[in-house]
């Protein structure tokens, strides 16, 4: 019942810092982890636009923060991340401002809003809490997720796994994928930026011949585990979640090399106002309590402070993600057009 | 030319307001870059196919049921009629949601019994759901045509040696054709403008694609698609106006007395329809309730639903009175009432798109309850007007005339004679608006204030998050609200002919 512990840690006075995940090596690191105990109380009213959070786990975090701050009134508008980003742009264009904060599950959406000049600069003590490669002056990444190739070792056997995502359709492996899923579309956007439109549409068409479609990426991972397909395309945490419920699951993670197939994407938050409460709210999301909760419950990679990554994935420095400007992933429209042309949507 | 009365002025203002969303769409669509592309063609094909399958399926189920429920002497006839008409009162998205969650690999059926069924989605899924929830349109319209049919000719044909089925086919069918067509057109109109079912079934119809475009805030593209959708709506409404039910002088009715075996056959034929359309959703939501409990459901969602709907109902009752009054007064009023009916033909997703844009232009309205209530009002006002008009039409004008003769002013006669007599229609109309607004999904999704979660939007949210179990409470509450609506319809005009073989009223 981790959910309960989170609520307790956040809402009751607990021993600050006495948490697992803080190892000796963390002390050698210059990044400071904060506990909710050290933060000022939140007061007043904020409006948060919340891009669809991982199956309610973000809601738990928000409820815990609300519970801890009785004088704080948080209004939440929920929707698909891309939809809310577009909404913020339309509102800005019409000169209507309603949101104070935008928590998105995709850096692309963040980029879209930041490029429109809506993101306010964050104080340096906030950016200093993040891992060096995730420091941005006007938004705070919260957790990371990696594109992976979950495969079924029994079915794959001694067959060769591709090291490049572009080679995947040329193997004789059967594939599972979820083209309508937003994370997948961000990945195709990355491919479009790295490989160009022609190569991407060719890849999509080749994949279409071989891949079986699923509604979401949890479905993909489950299908691979059952042996309906040899290999799938999914965010890393789906595999970890499935394995947490079924430790002996027939499932292993593979990573491609330096291409869109192992893109690291981040969820993150933007402040649209200079309001002190909004900035303090961001501090809450970077605390050890929230970060370790999202790591242990949602299996996402904590990006602030010194919090242990979820069990079962290699550390970030052993993966070779492609060099893509995360904020360019916002351009989903041409991607959708491309996917429709290829007939995969 | 007389100066216009107050009711005309109100009617004119509301009619102008009803046309406003359409004009907004026109101005929005004018910056659209693409009028029509290949993908658009696919959306059009999906939409038309869904409409065609729905109409066809509704006829195949609705017509035989109408024949049985009109001519065959069944035990508990009234009960069957109410039961088989009930799906009409249920929003089809509840059916779509539960079917989607029941079948397929990760469906409830597989989880509970280990029977793996193919997934229930796409064009097939959407068509089946639509048929289950729209066949009552055909059932009721056909039944109305059948009960005004004089059976003497069928008997004559039988005595001349024609078999029963042939005589029904060749003699009865041509005379009830219009009734069937009217019902089928209504069914296809429902399929055309419904948002929830194609969305849950993952079928790209106009409504779903408009929502996708709205999410990308491609408002001009959304408006363009909306206008294309409205053209089809207008076409269906026009056709519907062309097929007028023919009234024959009432004569004798056909009556069949089935034997035990035939009775069993008939009832076992009707049973699966009720099972799928009503029992399955109820059962699935109940299982979830029992398994997952209340989850994080808050009573405030129900209160939010009720609050916005209540405001809309009250406004509708106040505005509908003069409108109904005007429509009975003369041709201009009748024409304005027609215009206001446009609102009813505008699908919720289209109304939402238009009003979001209006809100962005008028920030004091944006994301306020007022805008949402306005959307409800524009969409459901015609229901209130219709119900009030029915009550007013049955008024005896000599009472008003008597009051005027005794020296009452026009206003006083209205207040002391007409109003009390039409109150029942007003209340029923208000209640209809209330229940419809409670279940509305797409416009609520687009226009609700921040943090304003209603039963329907909460259901949508748990669907998107994949926590189907949490939909139990809102699902059951929405079914309960639909049941109330059905009760209201039963006391209203639509079911007045429930007992046939009475004197048919000549209207």
Residue B51 has which token pair? Answer: 């409409």
Helix (H, G, I), strand (E, B) or coil at A267: strand
Question: Are residues B451 and A332, on separate chains, in Cβ contact within 8 Å?
Answer: no
Q: Is the pLDDT of residue B289 over 60?
A: yes
Residues of B in contact with A94 (CB under 8 A): 360-361, 363
Residues of chain A with pLDDT under 50: 1, 11-28
Do the strands A252-254 and A140-151 form a parallel or antiparallel pair, or are they unpaired? Answer: antiparallel
Stretch B233-248: mean pLDDT: 78
Residue A73, token pair as written in the block = 């009134």
Q: How many CB pairs under 8 A join A and B?
A: 58
Do residues B423 and B328 lie in contact, with contact meaning Cβ atoms separated by under 8 Å?
Answer: no
DSSP 8-state code for residue B72: B
- What integer pLDDT is reported at residue A17 of this predicted model? 34
Interface residues of chain B, partner chain A, Cβ below 8 Å? 39, 106, 202, 214-219, 296, 360-361, 363, 366-367, 450-451, 461, 464-467
pLDDT of residue B65: 92
What is the SS3 assignment for A33? coil
Q: How confident is the model at residue B428 (pLDDT cuts 50, 70, 90)?
A: confident
pTM score of the predicted model: 0.82
Report d(CA B47, CA B208) in Å as an integer.
10
Distances (CA, A) of B291 to B71, B284, B470: 44, 11, 10
Q: Could you tell me which of A240, A265, A281, A273 has the C-alpha nearest to residue A326?
A: A265
How many other C-beta atoms are found inside a 10 Å radius of the C-beta of residue A13? 9
**Nearest Cβ partner of B106 from A52, A76, A219?**
A219
Across the interface, do A52 and B465 touch by the CB < 8 Å criterion?
Answer: yes
pLDDT > 90: percent of chain A:
53
Q: Map residue B9 onto helix, strand or coil.
A: helix
Say if residue B504's pLDDT is above 60: no
Lowest-pLDDT range of A279-293, B21-35, B279-293: B21-35
A315 vs B431, more confident = B431
Q: Which residues in chain A are closer than 8 Å to B97, comparing Cβ atoms?
A: none
- Asked whether residue B106 carries a pLDDT value surpassing 70, the answer given is no
pLDDT in tens, B189-198: 999 999 999 9
- C-beta atoms of A90 and B219 within 8 A: yes
Would you call B451 and A59 a contact, using CB atoms and an 8 Å cutoff?
no
Please check the confidence at residue B1 and state whether its pLDDT lies above 60: no
Please tell me which of the candidates A52, A89, A222 has its beta carbon nearest to residue B217.
A89
- Give chain A positions within 8 Å (CB) of B106: 219, 222
| pLDDT at residue number B123 | 93
Cβ-Cβ contacts under 8 Å for A29 (sequence gap 6 or more): A306
Please give the residue that has the higher pLDDT: either B215 or B505: B215
Rounded Cα distance between B64 and B68, Å, is 6
Look at residues B418, B460, B476, B14 and name the one whose alpha carbon lies nearest to residue B282: B476
The DSSP output letter for A318 is G
Residue A164 pLDDT: 95
Q: What is the pLDDT of residue A228?
A: 86
Ranges of H-type helices in B330-468: 331-345, 348-361, 369-393, 397-405, 410-413, 419-439, 442-447, 455-465
- Per-residue model confidence (pLDDT) at position A5: 59
CA-CA distance, B370 to B362, in Å (whole number)? 12
pLDDT number for residue B244: 67
Cβ–Cβ gap B217/A95 under 8 Å:
no
**Contact indicator for B437, B493 with CB cutoff of 8 Å:** no
CA proximity to B127, closest of B32, B28, B61, B39: B61
Tokens of A158: 């001694």
The first and second tokens of residue B283, run together, are 């059962």
pLDDT tens track for B136-153: 999 988 888 887 777 788
Please report, rounded to a whole number, the percentage of residues in chain B having pLDDT higher than 90: 27
Nearest neighbour of B465 by CB, restricted to A55, A75, A76: A55
Alpha-carbon distance of B96 to B310, in angstroms, equals: 27
Are B366 and A75 inside 8 Å of each other by CB?
A: no
User: pLDDT at position B11, please?
Assistant: 82
What pLDDT is attached to residue B139?
92
pLDDT at B243: 80
Q: Is the pLDDT of residue B495 over 60?
A: no
Contacts B214 to A, Cβ<8 Å:
83
Average pLDDT over residues B283-310: 87
Question: Within 13 Å of residue A23, how many CA atoms lie on the same side as its CB?
Answer: 5
Chain B positions touching A218 (Cβ under 8 A) are 466
Mean pLDDT of B432-451: 91
The β-bridge partners of A44 are A72
**Cα–Cα distance measured from residue B392 to residue B321, given in angstroms and rounded to the nearest whole number:** 10
Q: Decide which of B81 and B504 is more confident.
A: B81
Residue A145 parent element (H or E): strand A140-151
Residues of A with CB under 8 A from a CB of B: 47, 52, 55-56, 59, 75-80, 82-83, 86-87, 89-91, 93-96, 98, 180, 215-216, 218-219, 222, 332-333, 340
- Asked if B72 contacts B258 with a C-beta cutoff of 8 angstroms, the reply is yes
Mutate one of B203, B216, B298 to test the A interface: name it (highest A CB count within 10 A). Answer: B216
């Amino acid at each position: 019942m981790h959910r309960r512990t989170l609520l307790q840690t956040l809402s009751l006075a607990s021993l600050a810092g006495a948490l697992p995940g803080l190892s000796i090596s963390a002390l050698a690191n210059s990044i400071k982890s904060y506990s909710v105990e050290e933060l000022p109380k939140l007061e007043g009213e904020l409006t948060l636009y919340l891009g669809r959070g991982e199956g309610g786990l973000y809601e738990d975090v928000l409820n815990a923060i609300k519970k801890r701050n009785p004088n704080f009134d948080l209004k939440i508008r929920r929707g698909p991340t891309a939809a809310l980003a577009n909404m913020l742009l339309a509102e800005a264009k019409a000169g209507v401002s309603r949101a104070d904060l935008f928590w998105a599950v995709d850096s692309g959406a963040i980029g879209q809003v930041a490029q429109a000049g809506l993101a306010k600069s964050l104080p340096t003590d906030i950016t200093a809490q993040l891992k060096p490669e995730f420091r941005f002056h006007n938004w705070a990444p919260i957790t990371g997720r990696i594109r992976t190739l979950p495969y079924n070792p029994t079915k794959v056997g001694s067959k060769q796994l591709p090291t490049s995502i572009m080679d995947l359709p040329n193997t004789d492996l059967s594939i599972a994928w979820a083209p309508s899923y937003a994370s997948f579309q961000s990945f195709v956007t990355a491919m479009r930026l790295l490989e160009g439109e022609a190569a991407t549409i060719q890849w999509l068409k080749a994949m279409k011949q071989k891949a079986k479609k699923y509604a979401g990426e949890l479905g993909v991972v489950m299908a691979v585990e059952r042996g309906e397909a040899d290999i799938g395309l999914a965010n890393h945490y789906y595999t970890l979640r499935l394995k947490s419920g079924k430790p002996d699951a027939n499932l292993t993670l593979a990573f491609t090399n330096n291409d869109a197939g192992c893109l690291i994407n981040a969820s993150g938050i933007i402040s649209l106002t200079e309001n002190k409460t909004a900035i303090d709210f961001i501090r809450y999301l970077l605390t050890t309590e929230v970060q370790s909760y999202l790591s242990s419950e949602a299996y996402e990679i904590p990006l602030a402070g010194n919090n242990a990554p979820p069990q079962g994935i290699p550390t970030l420095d052993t993966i070779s993600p492609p060099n893509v400007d995360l904020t360019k992933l916002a351009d989903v429209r041409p991607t959708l057009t491309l996917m429709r042309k290829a007939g995969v949507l | 030319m007389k100066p216009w009365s107050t009711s005309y002025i109100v009617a004119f203002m509301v009619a102008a307001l009803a046309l406003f969303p359409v004009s907004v769409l026109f101005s929005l669509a004018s910056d659209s870059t693409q009028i029509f592309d290949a993908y658009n063609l696919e959306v059009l094909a999906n939409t038309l196919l869904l409409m065609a399958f729905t109409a066809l399926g509704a006829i195949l189920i609705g017509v035989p049921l109408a024949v049985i429920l009109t001519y065959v002497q069944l035990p508990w006839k009234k009960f069957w009629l109410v039961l088989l008409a009930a799906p009409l009162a249920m929003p089809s998205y509840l059916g779509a949601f539960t079917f989607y969650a029941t079948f397929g690999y990760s469906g409830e059926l597989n989880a509970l019994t280990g029977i793996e069924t193919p997934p229930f989605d796409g064009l097939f899924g959407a068509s089946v759901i639509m048929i289950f929830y729209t066949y009552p349109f055909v059932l009721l319209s056909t039944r109305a045509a059948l009960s005004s049919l004089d059976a003497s000719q069928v008997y004559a044909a039988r005595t001349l040696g024609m078999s029963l089925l042939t005589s029904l086919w060749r003699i009865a069918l041509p005379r009830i054709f219009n009734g069937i067509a009217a019902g089928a057109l209504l069914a296809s109109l429902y399929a055309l403008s419904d948002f929830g079912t194609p969305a849950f079934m993952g079928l790209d119809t106009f409504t779903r694609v408009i929502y996708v475009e709205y999410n990308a805030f491609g408002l001009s593209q959304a408006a363009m698609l909306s206008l294309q959708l409205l053209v089809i709506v207008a076409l269906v409404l026009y056709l519907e106006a062309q097929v007028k039910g023919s009234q024959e002088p009432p004569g004798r009715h056909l009556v069949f007395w089935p034997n035990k075996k035939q009775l069993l056959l008939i009832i076992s034929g009707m049973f699966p329809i009720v099972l799928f359309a009503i029992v399955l959703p109820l059962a699935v939501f109940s299982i979830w309730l029992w398994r997952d409990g209340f989850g994080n459901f808050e009573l405030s969602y129900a209160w939010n639903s009720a609050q916005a709907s209540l405001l809309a109902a009250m406004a509708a009752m106040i505005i509908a009175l003069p409108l109904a009054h005007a429509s009975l007064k003369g041709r201009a009023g009748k024409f304005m009432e027609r215009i206001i009916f446009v609102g009813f033909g505008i699908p919720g997703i289209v109304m939402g798109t238009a009003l979001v844009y209006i809100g962005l232009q008028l920030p004091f309205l944006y994301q306020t309850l007022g805008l949402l209530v306005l959307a409800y009002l524009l969409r459901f006002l015609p229901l209130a007007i219709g119900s009030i008009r029915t009550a007013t039409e049955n008024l005896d004008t000599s009472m008003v005339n008597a009051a005027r003769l005794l020296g009452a002013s026009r206003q006083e006669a209205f207040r002391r004679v007409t109003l009390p007599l039409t109150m029942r229609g007003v209340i029923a109309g208000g209640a209809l608006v209330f229940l419809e607004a409670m279940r509305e999904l797409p416009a609520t999704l687009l226009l609700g204030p921040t943090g304003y979660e209603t039963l329907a939007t909460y259901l949508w949210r748990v669907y998107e998050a994949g926590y189907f179990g949490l939909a139990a409470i809102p699902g059951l509450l929405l079914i309960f609200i639909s049941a109330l609506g059905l009760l209201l319809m039963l006391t209203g005009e639509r079911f007045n002919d429930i007992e046939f073989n009475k004197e048919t009223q000549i209207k």
